[in-house]
Amino acid sequence: MPTTVIRVANTNRPAPPVPAPLAPLIDAHTHLDACGATDAASTAAIVDRAASAGVGHVVTVADDLAAAQWAVRAAQWDPRVYAAVALHPTRANALDDKAKAELEHLATDPRVVAVGETGLDYYWPGKLDGCADVETQIEGFRWHIDLAKRVRKPLMIHNREADHDLLTVLLDEGAPDTVIFHCFSSDAAMAEACVAEGYVLSFSGTVSFKNAHELREAAKLVPDDQILVETDAPYLTPHPYRGAPNESYCLPYTVRALAEVREQDPRALAEITTANARRLYRIR
């Protein structure tokens, strides 16, 4: 299994201040382990900070098998935490029979609300040691699609520079009832294609970046019932703290930026995205 770190947050910058609370909010995609959580106490500390900013629940997401096992434990430690399990597409070359059996077991846990993050990443092959090649990624993606359908849980997608092939594989395999494009980062044409298929688009701090013109145009096109918000912490910290370590408590910065782009009231958008997260992830 590849052990190279795929994304690294710049921890040389101080953490952003806690924003003015905005509630209710659900962080639809974060990585508590990468944020420094190791046990029940450190997990609770991160979620407590999130709660102070109005973020009442978080979904912690796996990149590899060990992270998937940890995510399920974290979701059992704290009722405010839910989990998503899968192998990241760059790690699809680790999807052997043993890994498949363990992921199938983990995916049935009641605290697991999605199969993810899976998908396709065409940026890293050839740049990252041990990265799965495109053919292996596609094979792994097909398997995760089937798993999501079998356990009847949302499919959480990672997409990097693979728009066409992702939509093609989903069409070929037959998409699960719920497909969530985590950290949507494509243009308006891709957003329109996803919306037409009924897919859900989740926006992270990248929508606040001043140079993300195409993404901001795409964000305007998403219907209220097909939108989520996330941090992808500890990465993608929203403006004006880009490059600093991210955490779930920073989600209000993203929601306020997204609301400005969409010309919506931030509190209304918070309520909309929270209702969507509860419905899609079946969070009571």
* Residues annotated in a binding site for a divalent metal cation: 29, 31, 117, 158, 182, 232
Binding residues: 29, 31, 117, 158, 182, 232
- The CA distance from 11 to 235, in Å, is 10
Q: 242 and 205 in contact (C-beta within 8 Å)?
A: yes
Phi, psi (deg, nearest 5) at residue 65: -70, -40
H/E stretch holding 189: helix 188-196
95-103: long-range contacts, CB 8 A cutoff, minimum separation 24: 95/139, 95/140, 95/143, 99/65, 100/143, 102/65, 102/68, 102/69, 103/65, 103/68, 103/147
- The CA distance from 250 to 248, in Å, is 5
Nearest Cα neighbor of 84 from 56, 54, 64, 100 is 64
Q: Which residues pair with 115 in a beta bridge?
A: 85, 155
Nearest Cα neighbor of 50 from 15, 84, 13 is 15
Q: Which residues pair with 120 in a beta bridge?
A: 159
Phi, psi (deg, nearest 5) at residue 122: -95, 0
Q: How many CA atoms lie within 13 A of 149 on its CB side?
A: 11
H/E stretch holding 84: strand 81-85
